[in-house]
Amino acid sequence: DLRRDCYAAVDIGASSGRVVVGFVEDGRIHLEEVHRFDNRQVRRGGHDCWDIDLLYGELVRGLALCKEAGFAPKSVGIDTWGVDFVLLDADDNLVGDAVAYRDERTQGMFEVADAIMSPEELYRRTGIQRQPFNTIYQFLALQRENPEQLEAAETFLMIPDYLGFLLTGEKALEYTNASTTGLLNAETGAWDETVLARFNIPRRLFRNVTMAGACLGPVKPSIAEKIGYDTCVVLPATHDTGSAFLAVPACDLPAVFLSSGTWSLLGVENRSPLTTAAAYGENFTNEGGYHFRYRFLKNIMGLWMIQSIRRELNGITYVVDEKAIRKGRLHQYMRVEGLGQEVGFEDLIRAADEAECAGVQASIVNVNDDRFLSPDSMIEEILEACEETGQAVPQTLGELMLCVYESLARCYREAVEGLSSLAGHGYKSINIVGGGCRDGHLNRRTAEVCGLPVYAGPVEGTALGNLAVQMLADGVFPHLKAVRAAIAESFDVQKVEP
């Protein structure tokens, strides 16, 4: 007997993906994770790219596993990280690769862009923070390196749009993720014609955006056969951060939201975009949200630094290089006592706890320096940054981790201060959702450094937000407020006092 009154969230982040089934029983939301898989970049044509075929394979496998777990979801929603895209030709075949946002191709593109339109004007129009990986800069890189790809292309789809297209044969550009391109007008939510024209980005590639909650279409018969049931694809907030913010059961208002994963996305939800000179100066973004909300937030380097340290200690490189898989160096930090064969996150947290107990004074790095976006060695990059600023260079894993945690927490504090000064009022709490809210050390540092109580949970924030929109679309809940209340009822949220 397959359960039908349930929904599947496919949530793919830069480091892992999962398929989670959600349903409501006795007014509570229940989740069951049916599939989890790694995501990594591959080196293709001289660039770091996403392995889209692999991700699609895992997605379909996850949907098939739903059935094995006793579910035949009514609908499926897909969310991923933002900014990245594919181009399709007139026959809907891929043109070029799905280049990953950390790839170096956008280096130097700020200068190119600034000569076309001042960054202040671009911000006034789009409301999107300046980040080297924004889609607009990827387009400028493509114009230089592969103009023939732009000529051959007929369709621009973002990663979740493309995965949805593979399932249904239907094309749509969902609004929340489209806003991360830096090509939408912040006020109207439509493609900014002036930006497209001035940057010479072909208008024909872009169809009108579709709002989250819309139905993309039924899955193709061949897919239904493969997964063992009929279902349709509903568009959630396909930008993972958009989904994550939906799932925040905010306590102690006004509250700051923090989606904690590969990135730490720290901000608030606004009813209108804030594109003033002051907001530009603080480099806060106005990403499009569900139902006329704006995510006013800042990207902070986040767990990426910790994930990279761990991978490095385990001798694994993030980008799978055809020639040099597992070429990672064995580092002196491997010799730290008590570390097992494979370094886990708990080892890193313990090392930081111990250094803290020993009274180590943390060195501080600017975590948002672009040098940490994609360094060859995260460990060496951090050590170098400490050295260059005349601070103590971490000698042990504990000192290194303490440096990362303290630096992250201070960056959170600066962002909260920035939010307060822009809003003209303070905030009463920080609400953290996503995998990072399991990191007890980070929660504690955050509460202490920011001087605010931290509410940690739910862990599966992004998948929950994805499911929330599907449930709203199906009439399970009347409005977002009701879903958030149900989320608060259904999941443990841990309070950490400063």
Measured from the CB atom, is 37 or 229 closer to ligand LFR? 37
Torsion angles phi and psi, residue 294, rounded to 5: -120, 135
Q: What is the CA radius of gyration of the chain?
A: 22
Measured from the CB atom, is 63 or 301 closer to ligand LFR? 301
- Contact call for residues 256 and 266 (beta carbons, < 8 A): yes
CB of 270 to ligand LFR, least distance (A): 16
With CB under 6 A as the contact rule, the residue among 48, 240, 282, 356 that binds ligand LFR is 240
Closest by CA position to 295, among listed 262, 254, 258, 260: 258
241 binds ligand LFR (CB under 6 A): yes
Binding residues for ligand LFR, rule CB under 6 A, total 14
424: DSSP letter? T
- Contact call for residues 127 and 158 (beta carbons, < 8 A): no
CB of 462 to ligand LFR, least distance (A): 8
81 binds ligand LFR (CB under 6 A): yes
The b-or-e profile of 282-297 (16+ CB within 10 A means b, else e) is bbbbbbbbbeebbbbb
- Contact call for residues 437 and 496 (beta carbons, < 8 A): no
With CB under 6 A as the contact rule, the residue among 83, 142, 163, 301 that binds ligand LFR is 83
Is 11 an annotated catalytic residue? no
- Choices 80-88, 142-150, 345-353, 405-413; region in contact with ligand LFR by CB under 6 A: 80-88
166 binds ligand LFR (CB under 6 A): no
Out of 240, 252, 347, 353, which one is annotated catalytic? 240
Token pair of 333, please?
């930090």
Measured from the CB atom, is 47 or 239 closer to ligand LFR? 239
- Choices 79-87, 195-203, 334-342, 488-496; region in contact with ligand LFR by CB under 6 A: 79-87
- Choices 216-224, 258-266, 385-393, 450-458; region in contact with ligand LFR by CB under 6 A: 258-266
- Choices 78-86, 198-206, 217-225, 268-276; region in contact with ligand LFR by CB under 6 A: 78-86
Binders in 33-62 for ligand LFR, by CB under 6 A: none
Closest by CA position to 318, among listed 19, 101, 134, 82: 101
DSSP of 172-207: -EEHHHHGGGT-B-TTT-SB-HHHHHHTT--GGG-P
Token pair of 265, please?
């996305």
The b-or-e profile of 468-478 (16+ CB within 10 A means b, else e) is bbbbbbeebbe
CB of 83 to ligand LFR, least distance (A): 4
Site string for ligand LFR, 293-312 (x = CB under 6 A): ------x-------------
Strands 294-300 and 285-288 come out as: antiparallel
Strands 94-95 and 75-80 come out as: unpaired
Measured from the CB atom, is 262 or 466 closer to ligand LFR? 262
273 binds ligand LFR (CB under 6 A): no
With CB under 6 A as the contact rule, the residue among 17, 22, 77, 82 that binds ligand LFR is 82
Q: Which amino acid is at 171?
A: K
Measured from the CB atom, is 49 or 83 closer to ligand LFR? 83
Token pair of 382, please?
């951090």
262 binds ligand LFR (CB under 6 A): yes
- Choices 257-265, 329-337, 376-384, 476-484; region in contact with ligand LFR by CB under 6 A: 257-265
263 binds ligand LFR (CB under 6 A): yes
Total Cβ atoms within 10 A of residue 56: 14
Q: Which amino acid is at 388?
A: E
CB of 114 to ligand LFR, least distance (A): 21
Token pair of 82, please?
């933002």
121: DSSP letter? H
Q: Which parts of this chain interact with ligand LFR (CB under 6 A)?
A: 13-14, 81-83, 101, 239-241, 261-263, 265, 299
Active site residues: 240
